[in-house]
Amino acid sequence: MIDVEDLIALVRNYNPRSNAELIRKAYAYGTLMHEGQFRKSGEPYFSHPIAVAAILTEQQLDDATIITALLHDTIEDTKSTYTEVSSLFGVEVAELVDGVTKLTNLQLSSTESQQAENFRKLLMAMSKDLRVILVKLADRLHNMRTIKSMNPEKQLQKARETMEIYAPLAGRMGMQWMREELEDLSFRVINPEARNSIIRRFLTLQREAGDVVHKITADIRTELEKVKIEADVYGRAKKPYSIWRKMQEKDLAFSRLSDIYGFRVICESVADCYGILGVIHQRWRAVPGRFKDYISQPKNNGYRSIHTTVSGRDGKRVEVQIRTREMHEVAEAGVAAHWSYREGVRAKNPFAVDPAKWIASLTEKLDEGDHDEFLEHVKLEMYSDQVFCFTPKGDVVQLPRGATPLDYAYSIHTRIGNACVSAKIDGIRVPLWTRLKNGQSVEIITAEGQRPQASWIDIVTTGRAKAAIRRSLREEDKGRFVRLGQELARAAFEHINKKFTDKALRTAAKMLGISEADELLARLGSGEMTARKVVETLYPELALAQGDEVQSNRAIVGLAGDQNFRRAPCCQPLPGERIVGIAHRGQGVVLHAIDCPALEEFEEQPDRWVDLHWHSGRHAATNTVSLDLAISNDAGVMGRVCTLIGEQKANISDLKFTERKPDFYRLVVDVDLRDVEHLHMVMTALEAETDVAQVSRVRDVTRKPKG
């Protein structure tokens, strides 16, 4: 355990004017408050706050943050109070300690909806004073370093929470060293076998190839000496988790991985940065598509650097990062550089980002009305790297890695995104699902009357685009979803012989926490909620029996004893849809959906109409429906479509292609289904698939029955 004088010495290394007496006072107060408390390892509990404070000295943070680290658990775990901390150490420290306490009490690994709300609270706490999250990240780092003392189940829960939330948050704040260590510590718990395997392979590689890092570092220094540029050169092997993630993303074996070594060149000026880049590219061959200039286009968290990948010794790829010393300070501390001290005064680093502006960049595009979209956007923002594209006029648009022309369109304006019909990249027309690359020029082509399609949700990457598309779909399709929801709800009520009324719907909506009946119907129609859920909410004792299956020959109620029936091929009605029978001489009764256009020709023949409805209960998946699909012409797409249908417990009984183009296929698929809800499940699954451009139900009046 670090004693108080050693801690003060760590602070005075970068801040000789530090208030040593106040740090001693906080150290003594923390020792007293935590007296008699012990960690799982058996160490005195106060050893943990001291270690957190020591981690924060590495970032050269101010006295208030160091003292907050010493006291961060006092309000939560001891008899200390906010008032007492405020009177002893000032309002600033008390507010910071209180903020850390509130963050600690957030259950960030809970359910999605709770997690979304907790992320909102986390960002609110950060926006008040970002030093709160700096203390919390250091707290989590020390806990992960000492996690072995916890029971295995708790270790796994903490490691997953760290991997999902704290590591990407540290990365988004620019503290890459902390992100890498948090990821690696979590990886050690979540998948120790994979981590050990990578380490063993590294050791084998070093035995076979020698000290590659030392050799390449020496090569770079030699080249810089030739042109008389002074710079420090550092090299290292990448962390095991970083290598594992690359293996998973690219589906590569370890032996086929490239650029597993990283090098940094730290110099004096921006001019030197570009000079060094020229030297490296002259000496080694640059790898196409692996160059990023974050000096001319910095990241939101203030990060500036030039990244390039070259083929080094023996053809091995290595990544080289080139930056000035001031840029390096921001690269190491990230947003925390705003509070860094040097020689007793706040360091004025021109590249340190304003924390308030950084928080604004993270939160400005959030749709405050939807917690799920909020969470989705924050996670995307935290995990993303950037690509920089150009407008036709030469303006730069910054987007996350993996973004598409649709993301680009929505980043300019929601109206442009909604009206987008196609795009050109560097003058060549491309599909909307194309992934953008650095330096490309993008032109969006719009058309009046164009509306967002449901399949776009799976194409776009940014939270802003997803929120805009969902909002538009909800507004434009709400009427259709409400009508479909009514049919689904009516069928579900008929299944249990209950009357479908407005009052029942309003009651169900209230019990489910939904503001109005129409919103409930819209959720039913859009697939966000099942009709079964509504019925079970109102009548739990009469929940639809999963095991009672209606026999195919008893599917219809209202037929005479000697009458047989068949479904009309023009509309292919399904259980759950309102139907009517048309009697055909010698052919029995043909079932039509109540809205089938083919019924018009029987309007003058009322004697042939038979009042029918489906038998209540679970029907067999024997009712064929034809679906019209447009899919991209690409390897594996057809297989994925068939797999998706199979995953919904539906069988493909026939399939035929109706159109073949260089970039897409059009086909009609006959699928055997249980009922209209089953149909909706299949169509929703298909609409969510990236490579399915369109899916619709075939209703062809030319296929009407004769007679």
The set of catalytic residues is 76-77
DSSP annotation of 119 reads: H
Q: Supply φ then ψ for residue 422, to 5 degrees.
A: -165, 180
Cβ-based neighbours of 636, under 8 Å, separated by 6 or more: none
Q: Which helix (H) or strand (E) holds 290?
A: none
Distance CA 411, CA 397 (A): 8
Helix 91-104 × helix 131-145 angle, to 10° = 50
Q: Which helix (H) or strand (E) holds 537?
A: helix 531-538
Helices (H), 210-324: 212-226, 240-250, 270-283
Question: Are the C-beta atoms of 435 and 404 separated by less than 8 Å?
Answer: yes
Question: Are the C-beta atoms of 116 and 371 separated by less than 8 Å?
Answer: yes
Question: Are the C-beta atoms of 131 and 64 separated by less than 8 Å?
Answer: yes
Distance CA 599, CA 593 (A): 9
* CB burial string 79-98: b at 16+ within 10 A, e below: ebeeeebbeebeebbbbbbb
Question: Are the C-beta atoms of 20 and 12 separated by less than 8 Å?
Answer: yes
Question: Are the C-beta atoms of 50 and 7 separated by less than 8 Å?
Answer: yes
Helices (H), 496-530: 502-511, 517-526
Cα dihedral across residues 543, 547, 551, 552: positive or negative: positive
Distance CA 468, CA 490 (A): 31
